[in-house]
A and B are shown apart, each in its own frame.
Chain A
Amino acid sequence: MTVTKEDVYRVLKNVLDPEIGFNIVDLGLVYDVEVNDGKVKVKMTLSSPSCPLSGTILSWVESAVRNIEGVKDVEIELVWEPPWSIEMASDEVKKALGMKY
């Protein structure tokens, strides 16, 4: 089975930040996804470099992607540039957090 970027984004929508209560895709934490012959590379950030859940969230990302049929390898690139900000989140998240946008 051929893995697509959409498959990866779909499973990443199930990875929630339990503190904020939203999934990492809608929060805008996933910067890019590359799929190449079953090898998946996720480029992402976290809401804070000091996020105490960082290791846990990354392990969920890996587990979610690896469970997609056809995935042979997962690489997660954790980046801090550009730094995450609320502008990267979906309108739904901004509204739920009480942001005026």
Chain B
Amino acid sequence: MRLVGNLATQFAPPFSLVLHYFLGGFIFNLISMASLYFYAGSFEPPFISFSYAFLAHTFLIGSVMTIIFGALYQLIPVALEVPVFSFFLGYVQFYAHLIGLLIFLFSLFSRNLYVMLVGAVILLISFLIFSFNFFMSIRGLKSFNTTAKFLFFATVSLIIGVFIGVFMVFNFVFGFYSGSIENLVYAHIIFTLFGFVFMVIMGVSMVLLPMFSLSHKFRDIYINLSFFVMMISVFGGGFVSFFFGSSPVYYSVFLMIISALFLYLLQVYEIYTKRARRLKDTGIDTMFMSHFFILIFIISVILTPFSEKFVFISGFSLIFGFINLLIYGSMYKILPFLTWFHRFSNLVGKKKVPMLNDMLPERLPSYQIVLSSAGVILLLIYLLVPVNFLFYISVIFLVVGSSMYLYINIYVLRFRLEE
């Protein structure tokens, strides 16, 4: 074939590399939902504790970041039009990530600081491998589009945030730092959660949302403004929190972050209104609807000075609400595609091959999304009105939802043509 023109995607990663990350992420998703059970009646200050750190790291590193890394190995060639520098390093990173995470979580559970040090250092190595691989991949990039800018600064933010985390662990063991631990924790959260996880989500959403919803001719002014505000919030706010943290400073930084997220919401709404695909599609509908939880996050952050309940409500609405549902929805689009590409693309023209939607079980993804969303909403209500019954129902919904999610994804991976 003679091809004239630019072609974005000639550098797909091995299917097994992405699967390593995705399967790991699915399993940690279930573990984190199940571990919620042990937190009944315990959502009270102080917010900085090993107990909450265990839940946050199980979900954020175990589920969210594991899936993000897998998705990035798939999306870097698609979104940035460059090949990944080394897939081998991708496998090395995965095993370092998994081993480091398991050791780190065990240390949080057992409160063993020396074990925590080992886990944190291995995790640091895994993040540095990713960062090296990413920067080597984009070294030939000629122009930085919106997604490239987000991913570049997200990776810089990851490095800073992880070093702060490791610094904290070293300090727990050797006690050399006389400053405020709270400042370190806030800076760590700002750089890793908002700097890395959110900036990756915002950048990648600008590719995935229009692509899956067939949205065209939308303005991109909001995302450009959002990038600018997010940069100031993360890099300015992160360092100010590190050196000069105090309650008013943290609150001001979070107000800036919610401003950036509000602009991002406007951009998502702009894409949503310009979409051509308007029929029901569980994956893309969930991706869009998950953004409602950002609104709850914004409102609850504003209300945190009035009640400490809103600290937990903001955290859970953002992490278990928005991020979790966005990933659920994205997987219902990405995993069927990857499996189809791996298993059926070379059969086109020779056999009748399925469409991507055919590879998902009928109705089950919708039920799963309804169950998981109801679980999050009940959890948020419980945080406002602490009735234990609500909590247990929400945990049951979340665990069953996560189990269904695991089942559905395995169903997609095992999908075969009928002979």
Contacts and interface: CB of A to CB of B under 8 A. Distances in A.
B211 A53 contact: no
B417 interface: no
Contacts of A85: 216-217, 276
A75 interface: yes
Given A21-B355, A63-B349, A84-B216, A48 B278 contact: no
A78 interface: yes
A60 B348 contact: yes
Interface stretch (B4-12, B247-255, B321-329, B386-394): B4-12
Interface in A69-94: 73-80, 83-86, 89, 94
Given A52-B337, A62-B1, A76-B2, A99 B276 contact: yes
A97 B6 contact: no
Nearest to B5: A78
Contact of B4 (A14, A76, A86): A76
A19 B333 CA distance: 9
A78 B3 contact: yes
A73 B2 CA distance: 9
A77 B6 CA distance: 9
A71 to B, nearest CB: 12
Interface string A46-58: 0111111111101
Nearest to A60: B348
Contacts of A52: 9, 12, 74, 78, 337, 341
B277 interface: yes
A64 interface: yes
B345 A78 contact: no
Contacts of A36: none
B171 to A, nearest CB: 43
Interface residues of B, number: 36
Contact of B7 (A16, A54, A98, A99): A54
Interface in B190-222: 207, 210-212, 214, 216-217
A20 B279 CA distance: 11
Contact of A18 (B1, B7, B277, B340): B340
Nearest to B349: A63
B6 A80 contact: yes
Interface centre among A48, A76, A96 (most CB of B within 10 A): A48
A86 B357 CA distance: 20
A74 B1 contact: yes
B349 A98 contact: no
A52 B15 CA distance: 14
Contacts of A54: 7-9
Interface in A1-34: 14, 16, 18-21
B87 to A, nearest CB: 16
Interface string B269-282: 00000001111000
A25 B355 CA distance: 17
A74 B2 contact: yes
Interface in B299-353: 337, 340-341, 345, 348-349, 353
Contact of B345 (A20, A56, A73): A56
A97 B217 contact: no
Nearest to B147: A50
B3 A20 contact: no
Nearest to B359: A18
A58 B7 contact: yes
B278 A97 contact: yes
A86 B278 CA distance: 12
B4 A18 contact: no
A84 B215 CA distance: 10
Contacts of A75: 2-4
B151 interface: no
Nearest to B276: A86
A97 B4 contact: no
A50 B5 contact: no
Contacts of A62: 1
Contacts of A86: 214, 216, 276
Given A52-B9, A63-B349, A58 B3 contact: yes
A20 B214 contact: yes
28 contacts: A18-B340, A18-B354, A19-B356, A21-B355, A48-B211, A49-B6, A51-B8, A51-B211, A53-B9, A53-B337, A53-B345, A54-B7, A55-B9, A55-B10, A58-B1, A58-B7, A74-B1, A76-B1, A76-B2, A77-B3, A77-B4, A80-B5, A80-B6, A84-B216, A86-B276, A94-B276, A97-B278, A98-B277
Interface of A: 14, 16, 18-21, 47-56, 58-60, 62-64, 73-80, 83-86, 89, 94, 96-99
Interface of B: 1-10, 12, 74, 78-79, 207, 210-212, 214, 216-217, 276-279, 337, 340-341, 345, 348-349, 353-357
